């Protein structure tokens, strides 16, 4: 039976970043990914990185293209009642965010792992975890028609919301918390210049809309849509027309339409599982939590989990101590719940939940108050740029 120190299930951002950081600290690991490399590198998802995530990618030696190509945004805009209001992140927090697609983060990580000769196995089927309560669990999988078994010290479940890691744990051993939203996001990617130099989140009576970007020549837009919507009912022309209707007139006038290069519908949910550790199995990223994307937290939360697990594994292998491993769940959950709250709140004030006139007036009152209060704006801004990471290992938690 093959052996490694850490078996990582999933080669998304969580799995690749953990693998890279462990490797840089001499900790042997194997990554088992269900899909092909092309499929993983082709996924279009997040677009905004917190500074903490940027710093971690630099620490992982994959920050060079990111620092060269990212767009640093000192602010973003809220649009409502046919006007836009700029949230000045820099003035309110001293911070900023980086616009750099998750697709590019994944490509940078993948390139680094392949260059390092990492043990990355794609199209690994039927992955299962045996005995994660034991000191040396085993991970079974198939590849090209043969079955393999990998013995390890630890398993990192980086396999996303639909993965098998969380599902390997008896339901009685965990508590889950979930809110499924009554709408999804219809997203489009197009090689057209963005309508604005910063992101715009638009609250509109027809539904939420969002203007984002991947560069100054590639735009990413979203429309809130019903859960029963089908992509085939949304030809490009309909998407652009509806987007214009949901934006303030000046932004709509600046919108440049063009052929979509990607279009997809994503459901929205808030989800957390507690705890995140089960014996030698540790859940990381979307395997442990999901946030509605309005707060731009999903990918950043995953990176924060990776940071804490990587620190804990380095402590274990360097000193034999397991204090940080024992605190992994508690340390992750503090940040997870803060991000869940912010993402839920930001979704609640920007999206259309019903035709209820009172509810819509409450949203507008909240937006009016928010954009008129430095205290409220500071709270929004500090959550958006990313709350500070917990202190270095060993510091007492606040």
Residues serving a catalytic function are 73, 201, 293, 297, 384
Question: 272-308 as b/e, with b when 16 or more CB fall inside 10 Å?
Answer: bbbbbbbbbbbbbbbbbbbbbbbbbbbbbbbbbbbbb
Any contact of residue 127 with ligand FAS (CB under 6 A)?
Answer: yes
Site string for ligand FAS, 241-280 (x = CB under 6 A): -------------------------x--------------
Any contact of residue 220 with ligand PHB (CB under 6 A)?
Answer: yes
Any contact of residue 386 with ligand FAS (CB under 6 A)?
Answer: no
CA–CA gap between residue 203 and residue 42 (Å, rounded): 30
What is residue 156's three-state secondary structure?
strand
Q: Specify burial of residue 161 (Cβ count, 10 A radius: 0-12, 13-18, 19+).
A: middle
What is residue 290's three-state secondary structure?
strand
Q: Specify burial of residue 121 (Cβ count, 10 A radius: 0-12, 13-18, 19+).
A: middle
For ligand FAS, the binding residue among 4, 6, 7, 15 (CB under 6 A) is 15
- Given ligand PHB, ligand FAS, none, residue 294, with its beta carbon under 5 to 8 Å by kind, binds ligand PHB
| Residue 374 CB, nearest approach to ligand PHB (Å) | 23
| Residue 74 CB, nearest approach to ligand FAS (Å) | 19
Cα within 13 Å of Cα(63), Cβ side? 15
Residues 52, 57, 59, 65, Cα dihedral to 10° = -120
Cα separations in angstroms, 44 against 12, 186, 282: 12, 12, 26
For ligand FAS, the binding residue among 4, 7, 10, 240 (CB under 6 A) is 10
Site string for ligand FAS, 284-323 (x = CB under 6 A): -xx------x--xxxx--x---------------------
Bridge partner residues of 211 (DSSP): 200, 221
For ligand FAS, the binding residue among 4, 21, 29, 45 (CB under 6 A) is 45
- Given ligand PHB, ligand FAS, none, residue 40, with its beta carbon under 5 to 8 Å by kind, binds ligand FAS
Q: What is the CA radius of gyration of the chain?
A: 21
Q: Which stretch binds ligand PHB (CB under 6 A): 43-51, 117-125, 146-154, 240-248?
A: 43-51
- Given ligand PHB, ligand FAS, none, residue 13, with its beta carbon under 5 to 8 Å by kind, binds ligand FAS
Region of 61 on the Ramachandran plot (φ > 0 left; ψ -120 to 50 alpha; else beta): left
Q: Which positions ≥6 away from 68 have C-beta within 8 Å? A: none
Q: Indicate the residue among 23 and 159 with the shorter CB distance to ligand FAS.
A: 159
Q: Which stretch binds ligand FAS (CB under 6 A): 39-47, 145-153, 232-240, 315-323?
A: 39-47
Nearest alpha-carbon partner for 215 in 99, 110, 328, 113: 99
Any contact of residue 75 with ligand PHB (CB under 6 A)?
Answer: no
Any contact of residue 32 with ligand FAS (CB under 6 A)?
Answer: yes
Maximum alpha-carbon separation in the chain: 64
The footprint of ligand PHB on residues 279-298 (CB under 6 A) is 293-294, 296
- What phi and psi, each to the nearest 5 degrees, are found at residue 338? -65, -40
- Given ligand PHB, ligand FAS, none, residue 12, with its beta carbon under 5 to 8 Å by kind, binds ligand FAS
Q: How far is CA 32 from the centre of its chain?
A: 20
The footprint of ligand FAS on residues 162-201 (CB under 6 A) is 163-164
The footprint of ligand PHB on residues 174-203 (CB under 6 A) is 199
Binding residues (CB under 6 A) for ligand FAS: these are: 9-15, 32-35, 40, 45-47, 102, 124, 127, 158-160, 163-164, 266, 285-286, 293, 296-299, 302
Binding residues (CB under 6 A) for ligand PHB: these are: 46-48, 199, 212, 220, 293-294, 296
């Amino acid at each position: 039976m093959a052996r490694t120190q850490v078996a990582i299930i999933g080669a998304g951002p969580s799995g690749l970043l953990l693998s890279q950081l462990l490797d840089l600290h001499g900790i042997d690991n194997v990554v088992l990914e269900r899909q092909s490399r092309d499929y993983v590198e082709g996924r279009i998802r997040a677009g905004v990185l917190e500074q903490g995530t940027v710093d971690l990618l630099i620490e992982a030696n994959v920050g060079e293209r990111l620092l060269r190509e990212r767009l640093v945004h000192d602010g973003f805009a809220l649009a409502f009642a046919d006007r836009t209001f700029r949230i000045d992140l820099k003035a309110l927090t001293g911070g900023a965010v980086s616009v750099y697609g998750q697709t590019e983060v994944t490509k940078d990580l993948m390139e680094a792992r392949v260059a390092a000769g990492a043990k990355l196995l794609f199209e690994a089927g039927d992955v299962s975890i045996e005995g994660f309560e034991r000191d040396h669990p085993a991970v079974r999988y198939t590849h090209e028609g043969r079955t393999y078994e990998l013995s390890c010290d630890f398993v990192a479940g980086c396999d996303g919301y639909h993965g098998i890691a969380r599902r390997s744990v008896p339901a009685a051993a965990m508590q889950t918390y979930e809110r499924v939203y009554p709408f999804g996001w219809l997203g489009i990617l197009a090689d057209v210049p963005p309508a604005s130099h910063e992101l715009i989140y638009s609250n509109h009576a027809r539904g939420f809309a969002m203007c984002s970007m991947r560069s100054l020549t590639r735009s990413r837009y979203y429309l809130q849509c019903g859960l029963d919507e089908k992509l085939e009912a949304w030809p490009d022309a309909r998407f652009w027309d509806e987007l214009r209707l949901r934006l303030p007139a000046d932004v709509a006038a600046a919108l440049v339409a063009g052929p979509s290069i990607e279009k997809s519908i994503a459901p929205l949910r808030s989800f957390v599982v507690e705890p995140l550790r089960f014996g030698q199995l540790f859940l990381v990223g979307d395997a442990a939590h999901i946030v509605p994307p309005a707060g731009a937290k999903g990918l950043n939360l995953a990176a924060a989990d990776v940071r804490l697990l990587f620190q804990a594994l380095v402590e274990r292998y360097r000193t034999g101590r397991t204090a940080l491993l024992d605190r992994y769940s508690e340390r992750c959950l503090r940040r997870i719940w803060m991000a869940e709250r912010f993402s839920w709140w930001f979704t609640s004030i920007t999206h259309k939940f019903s035709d209820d006139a009172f509810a819509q007036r409450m949203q507008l009152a909240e937006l009016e108050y928010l954009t008129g209060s430095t205290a409220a704006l500071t709270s929004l801004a500090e959550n958006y740029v990313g709350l500070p990471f917990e202190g270095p290992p060993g510091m007492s938690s606040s």
